[in-house]
Structure 1
Amino acid sequence: MAELRAREEARSGTPDKKLNTSGPIPMFVSPSKDEHQQLAVPFCGSIKGGMRPGKKITITGIVEPEPDSFDISLTCGCDDVALELSAKFEDKQLMRNAHVGGSWGEEETAIPFFPFIPDQPFRIEIHCEHQSFRVIVDGQPIFDFYHRVKSLLTIDTIQINGSLTITKLN
């Protein structure tokens, strides 16, 4: 638990902020089974057992009424970033990238449509497949992001920041 808090402090700059849960989240490490708190943003939590083909992360939330942007990152501890997803509302862009071996790769931006609306709920599913992450928003496939991290099991942390409220994470 102390290691998880230290990792969260390093990422968020907020000392001694506990991981928050709104109930049992079997895929993520929670502070304790007795604590029932809302998921606060910025959020940083552990992905139990890392990622692997067939595993799915679901994020349900609400976009703030006057959003700027939000980011969702799947990382290998405090090192590589396997997937960074950035929603930019002004440009209606959904950018994604990876940071492997000390450098960022080529940013990807192509999407069929921008799926997020201010002050509206959303559901993001990140499916880990053999070759890529498939991202689905509100039931609509948005993009595939081909794996740049070699070992999927090392992807053990999720971070969420920005103009949104998280209502459920599993």
Structure 2
Amino acid sequence: MAPGEKLDPLPDPFILQPPAFHPVVPYVTTIFGGLRAGKMVLLQGEVPLDARRFQVDFQCGCSQHPRPDIAFHFNPRFHTTKPHVICNTLRGGRWQAETRWPRLALQRGAGFLTLFLFGDEDVKVSVNGKHFLHFRYRLPLSRVDTLGISGDVSVKAVAFLNSNPFVEGGSEYPAGHPFLSESPWLEAPCSRALPRGLWPGQTITVRGLVLPEPKDFTLSLRDEAAHVPVTLRASFADRTLAWVSPWGRRQLILAPFLFYPQRFFEVLLLCQEGGLQLALNGQGVGATSLGQQALERLRELRISGSVRLYCVHC
């Protein structure tokens, strides 16, 4: 970077916090930028066979004395005759009226993937892809800036994401595909088959971390004849993102450049009639045109470049 040159501005909605893998419990972390409607926290883990209870707290600060307010307390309990979840709010050192949710969707000795989706008025919770509960806020969501996890649970990953920008109202659960770390299946260059091509409504999700000294990043879609009708390329030399045509023509994407060293990113492609819509870190940033027949003929997704991948789903 030349002397005096400034980095591109990065508005808060575009910034995603890097995921944490295998954190030691009890675990407390700051939520960068705090919580707001449309933000989601993904928790992957496993419940030990002898688990009694654990809790996930969305807190207003991280002090020990006095104890911070807790806007949303999620507390699965396994040691009772009928396992259940308690949800509550701690305000001024006092617990409010608790809400009990029976038919616990978590089980001892089993893995789980839980999504906490924060809306305007309440938080929705899904477990293993199925809606489990919702809890109406009793404290302003804007006060929440800390996540705490404690109790009998083994945590594999914690990730902070934005909801799908292509879903009207932002009330649907984003794609909560599991995160993997150091997996040979996710080493770049990485390839995924598209045996049925692409069809309207299908999404491609790529999540990862840019390496310390990046050189390039390319996401391409290939058809049956190994042609490459769609290429998305990030240039670290001039910090631009562009669609590249099969003939080498570049169509710049006018959005903040998010692929900085050691920064987490999410690329979402939504197939629709006439082309693909693109979202970066939960923000829609444009589209590229491609006929439906060409979309149906696509057979392979390829990802290459200076990135460490955590999730590729198509």
Letter paired with 2:194: I
Q: Which 5+ residue runs of structure 2 have no aligned equivalent?
A: 1-182
Larger Cα-atom Rg: 2
Letter paired with 2:305: G
Deviation at 1:125, TM superposition (A): 0.3
Q: Percent identity?
A: 26
Letter paired with 2:276: F
**Partners of 1:38 and 1:52 in 2: CA distance:** 25
1:118-141 deviation per Cα after TM superposition (whole angstroms, max 9, x unaligned): 101111101111122111010111
1:48-89 deviation per Cα after TM superposition (whole angstroms, max 9, x unaligned): 311111110000111111112110001103432121011011
User: Paired residue for 2:244, among 73, 93, 97?
Assistant: 97
Q: Which 5+ residue runs of structure 1 have no aligned equivalent?
A: 1-35
Residue 64 of structure 2 aligns with which residue?
none
**Partners of 1:87 and 1:121 in 2: CA distance:** 14
SS of 2:243's equivalent in the other structure is: strand
Q: How many residue pairs were aligned?
A: 131
SS of 2:296's equivalent in the other structure is: helix
Residue 167 of structure 2 aligns with which residue?
none
Instruction: Tell me which protein shows more strand as a share of its residues.
Output: 2
Residue 72 of structure 1 aligns with which residue?
219
Letter paired with 2:274: Q
User: Paired residue for 1:133, among 276, 280, 285?
Assistant: 276
Q: From the superposition, tell whether residues 67 and 95 of structure 1 become closer, same or farther in structure 2 (CA, over 3 Å).
A: same
Q: From the superposition, tell whether residues 146 and 105 of structure 1 become closer, same or farther in structure 2 (CA, over 3 Å).
A: farther
Q: Alignment RMSD, CA only?
A: 1.8
Deviation at 1:110, TM superposition (A): 3.4
Q: How does 1:117-132 map to 2 (within 5 A)?
A: 117-132=260-275
User: Paired residue for 2:300, among 136, 157, 160?
Assistant: 157
Deviation at 1:148, TM superposition (A): 5.5
SS of 2:199's equivalent in the other structure is: coil
Q: From the superposition, tell whether residues 66 and 149 of structure 1 become closer, same or farther in structure 2 (CA, over 3 Å).
A: farther
The answer (yes or no) to whether the contact 2:211–2:262 under 8 Å persists in 1 is: yes
Residue 250 of structure 2 aligns with which residue?
107
**Partners of 1:124 and 1:78 in 2: CA distance:** 25
User: Paired residue for 1:147, among 271, 290, 293?
Assistant: 290
1:7-50 deviation per Cα after TM superposition (whole angstroms, max 9, x unaligned): xxxxxxxxxxxxxxxxxxxxxxxxxxxxx744111112211311
Structure 1 stretches of 4+ with a deviation exceeding 4 A read none
Letter paired with 1:158: L
The answer (yes or no) to whether the contact 1:63–1:163 under 8 Å persists in 2 is: yes
The answer (yes or no) to whether the contact 1:64–1:165 under 8 Å persists in 2 is: yes
Tell which has more relative contact order, 1 or 2 (C-alpha 8 A, sep 6+).
1
Q: From the superposition, tell whether residues 169 and 122 of structure 1 become closer, same or farther in structure 2 (CA, over 3 Å).
A: same
